[in-house]
Amino acid sequence: MRGMTAPLTLHPDRLLPPDPGTREVARRLYEHVRDLPIISPHGHVPPAWIAHDTPFRDPTSLLITPDHYVNRLMHASGVPLADLGVGQGDLDEAASRRAFRLLCEHWGVYAGTPVRYWLEDEFAGIFGIDERPDADNADRLYDRIAAWIARPESRPRALLEAFDIEVLATTDDPLGDLADHAAIAADPAVRTRVAPTFRPDRFLEPGRPDWNALTDALAKAAGADTGDWAGWVTAMENRRAHFRAHGAVSTDHSHADLRTDVLDDAEVRRVYAAARAGSATPAQHRALQRHMLAEMARMSCDDGLTMTLHPAVARNHHPGTFEAYGADVGVDIPTAVEATRALQPLLARYGTHPNLKLVVFTIDETVYSRELGPLAGFYPALYVGAPWWFIDAPDAIRRFRRAVTESAGFTRTSGFIDDTRAFCSIPARHDMARRLDAGHLAELVVDHRLAEDEAADIARALVVDQPRKVFKL
């Protein structure tokens, strides 16, 4: 009712099973893991925030502008991205308040979504807000969050401690000097391990119009001649070594598909030369990209970096939005993916290598039980990545556990990853996963398929042991 603000509360049993007996078991399992540290081996928080302990500016830049989950649904409801601060630089207070007011006015569009769940967790659990956002209280809530931001204990380094984040991985360009990471590692005041992640996608896609220029830049950064294929391999190995020296534990790859076809030595040299000369065909570009991806697995066998694959996303689906605002603003849409045949060339060569850990994520849920679970149930190198992006949501995570556990168990999965640059949502996301896994394990206990003490051990393993193992922490 207009003028009467509804309360905002966090139910202690949220996301736990509705059946009373199963819920009681889930409560006990959740208690085993609720206070364990957060290990975040895949995310997008800028390392500069930590290196310089950069204060957050305002509620909009903290909660709205950097979070494409929040932005895209408001955009679908008719709100221009510019009104949310996207692509607008630093907002003045009036613009920031307008954007935050739009969030409160559109609170209802998030009902039933994981975005709503995370935001409620942040509003109540971090900011101490006990009323549901709406048009009437937007300015009051803005002031309350702004006052929270102004506190010294709300700066990024203090929040690492408050959120109990043991490991925080960032996502970084191969050409980066990683100076921020060096500064963080040298500062004894930062107890969280902040690790860079090697993300070479644009250097592995010779069909890009800027690929030759990027390859020249790679040569300069790596101190290697990329005029031929052997030089490109050396350059990539050098940059990976630079990342490892700065604490990297993984590489991250997101291409249109998972194809890893391998060319013979003479063919790859010939196709690479054609790509550098600008005479390669589209088919040759694709063949070289797929060979390069398989080569990343070979390098991981040598240097020990865990390799993660995030395929099958149609990037920048709306050209006008991409032209106006650039990438990563919520206009990427999932597509179907095939894994069994696509990964076979890579797995035939490296799937049993003792030094390779390959984590395959998907937002095409159809491949969990049909392909990824069975693959991870045979190949020692392969693990199934936790639901991410469009499916890091309660029902999808439940479906994931049911689909994968039957063929791969729990030990062949990655542990939860939050995949976010929305800093304050990190604890909400990890707590969500802990509650959902406690619920799934409780169902196995009451079904007499698992003893409760073993379920408690598995719950802990999914939170801390699996990510430490898979990402070699």
Whether 77 and 115 map to the same domain: the answer is yes
**pTM of the full predicted structure?**
0.95
Q: Quick one: average pLDDT of 14-25?
A: 98
> What is the mean pLDDT of the segment spanning 110-125?
97
Residues 316-332 have a mean pLDDT of 89
Residue 14 lies in a domain: no
Q: Are residues 306 and 393 located together in one domain of the fold? A: yes
CA angle 386, 168, 122 (to 5 degrees): 75
Residue type, 392: D
264 and 168 inside one domain: yes
> Do the Cβ atoms of 207 and 287 come closer than 8 Å?
no
Confidence of residue 3 (pLDDT cuts 50, 70, 90): low
Both 168 and 130 in one domain: the answer is no
pLDDT in the model for residue 1: 40
d(CA 74, CA 351) in angstroms, rounded, equals: 43
Give the model's pLDDT for residue 4: 63
Q: Quick one: 122 and 202 in the same domain?
A: no
pLDDT in tens, 104-114: 999 999 999 99
Helix (H) or strand (E) holding 52: none
Q: Are 142 and 163 members of one domain?
A: no
> Among 124, 154, 184, which residue terminates a domain?
154
DSSP line for 150-215 = TSGGGSHHHHHHHTTEEEEE--B-TT---HHHHHHHH-TT--SEEE-EE--GGGG-TTSTTHHHHH
Task: Tell me: do 142 and 166 sit in the same domain.
Answer: no
Within-domain flag for 30: no
Q: What is the arithmetic mean of pLDDT over 218-239? A: 98
Judge whether 170 lies within some domain: yes
Report the C-alpha gap between 182 and 170 in whole angstroms. 13
Domain match, 110 and 163 both: no
> Do 198 and 321 belong to one domain?
yes
Number of domains in the chain: 2
What the block records as the tokens of 198 is 């090697």
Give me the chain's average pLDDT, please.
96
DSSP-derived 3-state class of residue 117: helix
Residue 227 φ then ψ, to 5°: -70, -25
Query: Do 179 and 304 share a domain, yes or no?
Result: yes
- Give the pLDDT of residue 65: 92
- Is the backbone of residue 186 left (phi > 0), alpha (psi -120 to 50) or beta? alpha
Within a domain: residue 150?
yes
Instruction: Read off the CATH number of the domain in which 138 is found.
Output: 1.10.2020.10
**What phi and psi values does residue 472 have, to the nearest 5 degrees?**
50, 50
Within-domain flag for 167: yes
Q: What is the pLDDT of residue 5?
A: 74
Please check whether residues 147 and 160 belong to one and the same domain.
Answer: no
Could you tell me which residues come within 8 angstroms of residue 242 by beta carbon, excluding any fewer than 6 positions away? 178, 222
Query: Rounded to 5 degrees, what angle do the CA atoms 464, 466, 470 make?
Result: 125
Q: Which residues of 331-340 are buried (b: 16+ CB within 10 A; e: fewer)?
A: bbeeeebbbe
Nearest to 205 by CA among 292, 278, 276: 292
pLDDT number for residue 114 = 95
**Residue 242 belongs to a domain:** yes
124 phi, psi to nearest 5 deg: -85, -45
**Cα distance between residue 326 and residue 421, in whole Å:** 16
d(CA 343, CA 173): 25
pLDDT (average), residues 169-175 = 97
CB 410 within 8 A of CB 379: no
**Residue span of the structural domain in which 450 resides:** 156-470
Q: pLDDT tens digits for 239-271?
A: 999 999 999 999 999 999 999 999 999 999 999
Indicate whether 40 belongs to any domain: no
Query: Where among 154, 171, 199 does a domain terminate?
Result: 154
Residue carrying structure tokens 């994931």: 400
Give the CATH number for residue 169.
Answer: 3.20.20.140
Neighbours of 270 (CB within 10 A): 15
Longest dimension (CA), the chain: 74
Instruction: Please report the pLDDT score of residue 403 as a whole number.
Output: 97
Q: Are residues 97 and 201 in the same domain?
A: no
- Looking at 154, 181, 196, the residue that finishes a domain is 154
- 234 belongs to a structural domain: yes
